[in-house]
Chain A
């Protein structure tokens, strides 16, 4: 399957706003053979350099829209907004000062729900270069 590929090495960088680094992002891909509604995300768990990222600080950007990560997990999130198969979903971590340029160890645990099999849990750990 795609477990080795859910964490991409494309577009990892600090994010700037008004001349300041306000956070950083990684781009991830789905762990399944088709797209799923965003509300089928059970969990996106990130560890950067061994430190767990606070889910309260995470935003998700996909297909031109931005959501608070925790909103995706609520029981009334719309069911017609899909994570497109093969397309990246950008996870933004809000953190003053962004991330130091260079190599960082990132671990992603991605859990997605389908109806006809148990929740899929995929773990991917990589050294990524942040711009």
Chain B
């Protein structure tokens, strides 16, 4: 029997990638782990855990629905990818990408999901650029407009994931919503929060990984400490201010390049909780991203109580799915117990939501 909370909790099976990759658990095992954490729903990457993808047979669905029944779960979201770079010398055309994207909408329908996480061009804010190459265009507003009639046909909502360094209040997201408004199909699209937007310091998981890659641990801990100081003092973190001190400690330009894609350098402060509250009622799906959990049961680099309060007070209705990303930062040092991390994370979220003391 499911709860009747406005905000329900689920698990993205992405969280169990090592268990699957190393064959400790198959899909059923991952579903059982999610159910064991107290979750009521799941998110699935078809390319990860449906071996016959891009086809889904009735035989697979027989098993799948049996498991969902057995473990008391529902499918919430299917993850869409926009792999344009299929071939070495040519990219998929818009028509081909559209056709491929429809696969995910149909898969979501087959699996009983309500949403697909759309990998749209603005999921990191501005278009991605790689030196010497054209900016990488994924699903742009025009293709999104062409997908919406399929969403209406199959009853699937497109969730526009807003991943750090962007956030739901970034104006760059509006073009996608406007396309839907014009078509009168706005009920089939909405914003998706990813908690990465609310990181206020480098995670201890990153500190561990980068130090094992040869970057001075003291320097990493110094950066993390300064970020925490800035956040708790309500100030911006400005990397350049601590750079001279870091250089004295032996921090090199190579070290800087190695870590610049993590929070440490790309953001000065987490996205606004006020804005999150303002946008919450328009949000259609949420990734409860985390990398590590500290000894107090808190996520070590995001302010979960504040983030969840903003969603709750702003009137968000829907799922928050645990998305554990510590595995890929920790598994170079040995086995990472993803199942236990997710259990702790679900417990933290239940507490933040007031579902348990």
What residues of chain B lie closer than 8 Å to A82, measured between beta carbons? 47, 53-54
Smallest Cβ-Cβ distance to A112: which chain B residue: B85
Knowing A85-B49, A86-B20, the reply to whether A39 touches B87 (Cβ < 8 A) is: yes
- Is B22 positioned at the interface, with any CB of A under 8 Å from its CB? yes
- Is A105 positioned at the interface, with any CB of B under 8 Å from its CB? no
What residues of chain A lie closer than 8 Å to B21, measured between beta carbons? 2, 5, 29, 33, 85-86
Interface size on A, residues (CB 8 A): 33
- Is B83 positioned at the interface, with any CB of A under 8 Å from its CB? yes
Q: Mark A32-64, 1 if CB is under 8 A from B, else 0.
A: 011111011010000000000000000000010
- Is B152 positioned at the interface, with any CB of A under 8 Å from its CB? no
Whether B23 and A35, one on each chain, are in contact in the complex, defined by CB atoms closer than 8 angstroms, is no
Whether A34 and B48, one on each chain, are in contact in the complex, defined by CB atoms closer than 8 angstroms, is yes
Name, among A3, A34, A113, the residue most crowded by chain B CB atoms within 10 Å (CB to CB): A34
Chain B 31-52 interface residues, beta-carbon cutoff 8 Å to A: 45, 47-49, 51
Whether A1 and B86, one on each chain, are in contact in the complex, defined by CB atoms closer than 8 angstroms, is no
Knowing A29-B21, A77-B87, A117-B128, the reply to whether A84 touches B328 (Cβ < 8 A) is: no
- Output the least CB separation between A73 and chain B (Å): 6
Q: How far does the alpha carbon of A2 sit from the alpha carbon of B330 in the complex, in Å?
A: 11
- Is A114 positioned at the interface, with any CB of B under 8 Å from its CB? yes
- Output the least CB separation between B292 and chain A (Å): 17
Whether B88 and A35, one on each chain, are in contact in the complex, defined by CB atoms closer than 8 angstroms, is no
Whether B20 and A73, one on each chain, are in contact in the complex, defined by CB atoms closer than 8 angstroms, is no
Q: Mark A51-93, 1 if CB is under 8 A from B, else 0.
A: 0000000000001000000000111110110101111000000
Q: How many A-B residue pairs have CB under 8 A?
A: 87
- Is B81 positioned at the interface, with any CB of A under 8 Å from its CB? yes
Q: Mark A1-15, 1 if CB is under 8 A from B, else 0.
A: 111110000000000
Whether B51 and A40, one on each chain, are in contact in the complex, defined by CB atoms closer than 8 angstroms, is no
- Is B332 positioned at the interface, with any CB of A under 8 Å from its CB? yes
Name, among A37, A42, A77, A116, the residue most crowded by chain B CB atoms within 10 Å (CB to CB): A116
Knowing A115-B138, A116-B82, the reply to whether A87 touches B51 (Cβ < 8 A) is: yes
Whether B136 and A115, one on each chain, are in contact in the complex, defined by CB atoms closer than 8 angstroms, is yes
Smallest Cβ-Cβ distance to B91: which chain A residue: A115
Q: Which of A2, A35, A76, A116 contacts B47 (CB 8 A)?
A: A35
What residues of chain B lie closer than 8 Å to A73, measured between beta carbons? 88
- Is B233 positioned at the interface, with any CB of A under 8 Å from its CB? no
What residues of chain A lie closer than 8 Å to B88, measured between beta carbons? 42, 73, 75, 113
Smallest Cβ-Cβ distance to B128: which chain A residue: A116
What residues of chain B lie closer than 8 Å to A114, measured between beta carbons? 81, 83, 85
Q: How far does the alpha carbon of A37 sit from the alpha carbon of B85 in the complex, in Å?
A: 11
Q: How far does the alpha carbon of A40 sit from the alpha carbon of B88 in the complex, in Å?
A: 8
What residues of chain A lie closer than 8 Å to B45, measured between beta carbons? 33-34
- Is A19 positioned at the interface, with any CB of B under 8 Å from its CB? no
Whether B136 and A85, one on each chain, are in contact in the complex, defined by CB atoms closer than 8 angstroms, is no
Whether A80 and B54, one on each chain, are in contact in the complex, defined by CB atoms closer than 8 angstroms, is yes
- Is B220 positioned at the interface, with any CB of A under 8 Å from its CB? no
Q: Which of A1, A36, A42 contacts B328 (CB 8 A)?
A: A1
Smallest Cβ-Cβ distance to B53: which chain A residue: A82
Q: How far does the alpha carbon of A34 sit from the alpha carbon of B128 in the complex, in Å?
A: 21
Q: Which of A77, A87, A118 contacts B130 (CB 8 A)?
A: A118
Whether A85 and B47, one on each chain, are in contact in the complex, defined by CB atoms closer than 8 angstroms, is yes
Q: How far does the alpha carbon of A115 sit from the alpha carbon of B86 in the complex, in Å?
A: 8
What residues of chain A lie closer than 8 Å to B81, measured between beta carbons? 34, 114-115
A-B contact pairs, 24 of them (CB 8 A): A3-B332, A35-B47, A35-B48, A37-B86, A42-B88, A75-B87, A75-B88, A76-B87, A77-B87, A79-B92, A80-B54, A82-B47, A82-B53, A82-B54, A85-B20, A85-B47, A86-B21, A87-B51, A113-B85, A113-B86, A114-B83, A116-B82, A116-B123, A116-B124
| Chain B residues proximal to chain A, CB less than 8 Å | 14, 17, 20-23, 45, 47-49, 51, 53-55, 81-90, 92, 100, 119, 123-124, 128, 130, 136, 138, 328, 331-332
Q: Which 5 A-B residue pairings sit nearest by Cβ, starting from the closest?
A: A34-B47, A75-B87, A34-B48, A86-B21, A113-B85
